[in-house]
């Protein structure tokens, strides 16, 4: 019997969260050996792309791809890993996979996209909740009159993004990659931020990097003695020279706004890192804790990866990353929901929605506290490490994926043609009359 044809359309060869998510799912499907897996590569925004041969999982996919030929037969299972407004049913059974939404509301186009699929996967309970509560007036385009309500009609499952414990949390090699040469950093205690510093003026970008930088300067200005540093592993999408200069200019502008000549240092790491290099960075002896002042996450993958180090984490107390950041083991910042700034409205966000803004006083307090009482918070970091390893590993995610795919109430079994090996029948010999 032929294997069901399973086609995935995704940005699987990009340096993005959606790219990493794609590779995790694709690896799971291939290793199950239950499907004939085929891939369609899509670009993802402005993020860098291209296979990384040094990464074993990328090499695994590259070798698999090289041996596959595109089939002309009907698609049994179709999976799209992208934002929901792009979802289009192509196969006999269609699965939409998205990180979801970072604010408290979604767009009607996203709900319409989810409703076009047979089943949808999201990364967090936050995303599921936002989609399930969404409700819009349907407008008849011909009459411009109300035509009922638009709501989520198709089933939705939470499939978390599991961390690969064969890469993250592993022992480091004796050699340090040149990209991770932090010898120019004189401080022995560094906070680490990982993420894009994208659109929006000061305080309006989703990762809220500008506010983090400003409050870090304010927290440790004029302090006598040793100070911590802040390392930003950041870009504006592409990791180019222009991207680096743009961020350096933003940092310099914030620094000039602080009235002090005795400020802590902020360093920038810009470029595409392999998973191995990110693990090296997370575990670097100078990196003591991770801090995120994000306004909202569909999941928050870097926070999950950093959890494997056993080091303290400070993060916003709202949205998708709360699924795996245990409240007893991590520092979750207070704050409030505020309107999304009009400059942030795009294909992902609507101006009417809200997202999180951290309390600056709470942020300053914990930046100081963890710096002073590091050993105490390191105990919590080690507890968070064990929590993640036991509950949010790639293996756990893999088990969840196949429990859903093998549940006939959720994903129907598609009948396959049976290959019959019949004996060759020759034509009867004709006798001459």
Could you tell me if 153 and 190 lie in one domain? no
Q: At which residue do the structure tokens 């050699």 appear?
A: 175
Percent of the chain with pLDDT over 90: 67
DSSP symbol at 134 = -
Residue 171, in any domain of the structure: no
Could you tell me if 240 and 381 lie in one domain? yes
Could you tell me if 378 and 399 lie in one domain? no
What CATH number does residue 83 fall under? 3.40.50
Mean of the per-residue pLDDT values for the chain? 89
Could you tell me if 153 and 196 lie in one domain? no
**pLDDT tens-digit profile of 287-296?**
999 999 999 9
pLDDT tier for residue 235 given thresholds of 50, 70 and 90: confident
Could you tell me if 337 and 264 lie in one domain? yes
Residue 310: CA count within 13 A, CB half-sphere? 11
Structural tokens at position 67: 């041996």
pLDDT at residue 383 in the model = 98
pLDDT at residue 54 in the model = 62
Q: Is the pLDDT of residue 426 over 70?
A: no
pLDDT tier for residue 14 given thresholds of 50, 70 and 90: confident
pLDDT tier for residue 273 given thresholds of 50, 70 and 90: confident
pLDDT tier for residue 147 given thresholds of 50, 70 and 90: confident
**pLDDT tens-digit profile of 375-395?**
999 999 999 999 999 999 999
Q: Is the pLDDT of residue 9 over 60?
A: yes
Could you tell me if 108 and 38 lie in one domain? yes
Rounded to the nearest 10 degrees, how much is the dihedral formed by the CA atoms of 354, 356, 357, 358?
160
Q: At which residue do the structure tokens 């709360």 appear?
A: 322
Burial (Cβ within 10 Å: 0-12, 13-18, ≥19) of residue 152: buried
What CATH number does residue 202 fall under? 3.40.50.2000
Percent of the chain with pLDDT over 70: 87
CA angle, residues 306, 199, 248, in degrees to nearest 5 = 70
Residue 167, in any domain of the structure: no
Q: How far apart are CA 223 and CA 236, in angstroms?
A: 31
pLDDT at residue 202 in the model = 72
Could you tell me if 251 and 306 lie in one domain? yes
Residue 333, in any domain of the structure: yes
Which of the listed ranges 141-155, 268-282, 379-393 does the model predict with the highest average pLDDT?
Answer: 379-393
Number of domains comprising the chain? 2
Residue 264, in any domain of the structure: yes
Domain that holds residue 380: 178-388
Could you tell me if 134 and 188 lie in one domain? no
pTM, 2 dp? 0.91
370-379 mean pLDDT: 98
pLDDT at residue 72 in the model = 78
Top pLDDT among 373 and 142 is at 373
pLDDT at residue 350 in the model = 78
pLDDT tier for residue 179 given thresholds of 50, 70 and 90: low
Which residues in 159-276 belong to E strands, given as ranges? 190-196, 229-235, 266-269
Q: Is the pLDDT of residue 130 over 90?
A: yes
Q: Is the pLDDT of residue 313 over 80?
A: yes
Could you tell me if 289 and 335 lie in one domain? yes
Could you tell me if 145 and 251 lie in one domain? no
């Amino acid at each position: 019997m032929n294997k069901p044809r399973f086609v995935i359309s995704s940005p699987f060869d990009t340096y993005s969260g959606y790219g990493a998510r794609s590779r995790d799912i694709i690896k799971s499907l291939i290793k199950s050996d239950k499907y004939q897996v085929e891939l369609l590569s899509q670009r993802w925004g402005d993020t860098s792309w291209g296979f990384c041969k040094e990464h074993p999982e990328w090499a695994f996919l590259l070798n698999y791809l090289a041996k596959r030929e595109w089939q002309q037969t009907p698609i049994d299972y179709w999976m799209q890993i992208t934002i929901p407004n792009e979802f289009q049913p192509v196969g006999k059974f269609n699965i939409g996979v998205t990180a979801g939404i970072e604010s408290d509301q979604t767009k009607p186009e996203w709900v319409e996209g989810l409703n076009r699929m047979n089943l949808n996967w999201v990364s967090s309970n936050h995303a599921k909740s936002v989609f399930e509560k969404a409700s819009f007036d349907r407008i008849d385009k011909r009459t411009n009159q109300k035509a009922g309500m638009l709501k989520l009609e198709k089933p939705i499952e939470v499939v978390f993004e599991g961390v690969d414990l064969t890469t993250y949390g592993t022992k480091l090699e004796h050699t340090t990659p040149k990209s991770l040469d932090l010898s120019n950093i004189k401080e022995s205690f560094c906070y680490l931020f990982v993420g894009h510093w994208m659109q929006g003026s000061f305080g309006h970008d989703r990762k809220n990097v500008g506010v983090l930088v400003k409050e870090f300067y304010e927290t440790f200005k004029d302090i006598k003695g040793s100070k911590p540093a802040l390392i930003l592993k950041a870009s504006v999408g592409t990791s180019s020279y222009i991207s680096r200069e743009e961020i350096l200019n933003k940092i310099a502008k914030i620094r000039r706004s602080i009235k002090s000549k005795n400020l802590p240092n902020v360093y920038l790491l810009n470029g595409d890192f392999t998973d191995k290099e990110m693990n090296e960075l997370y575990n670097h002896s100078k990196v003591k804790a991770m801090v995120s002042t994000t306004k909202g996450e569909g999941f928050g993958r870097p926070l999950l990866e950093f959890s494997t180090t056993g080091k303290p984490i400070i993060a916003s107390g709202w949205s998708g990353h709360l699924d795996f950041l245990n409240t007893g083991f991590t520092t979750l910042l207070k704050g409030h929901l505020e309107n999304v700034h009009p400059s942030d409205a795009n294909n992902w966000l609507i101006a009417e929605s809200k997202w999180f803004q951290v309390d600056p006083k709470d942020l300053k307090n914990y930046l100081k506290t963890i710096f002073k009482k590091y050993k105490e918070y390191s105990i919590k970091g080690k507890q968070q490490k064990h929590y993640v390893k036991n509950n949010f590993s790639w293996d756990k995610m893999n088990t969840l994926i196949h429990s859903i795919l093998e549940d006939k109430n959720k994903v129907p079994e598609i009948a396959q043609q049976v290959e019959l090996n019949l004996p060759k029948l020759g034509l009867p010999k004709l006798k001459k009359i």
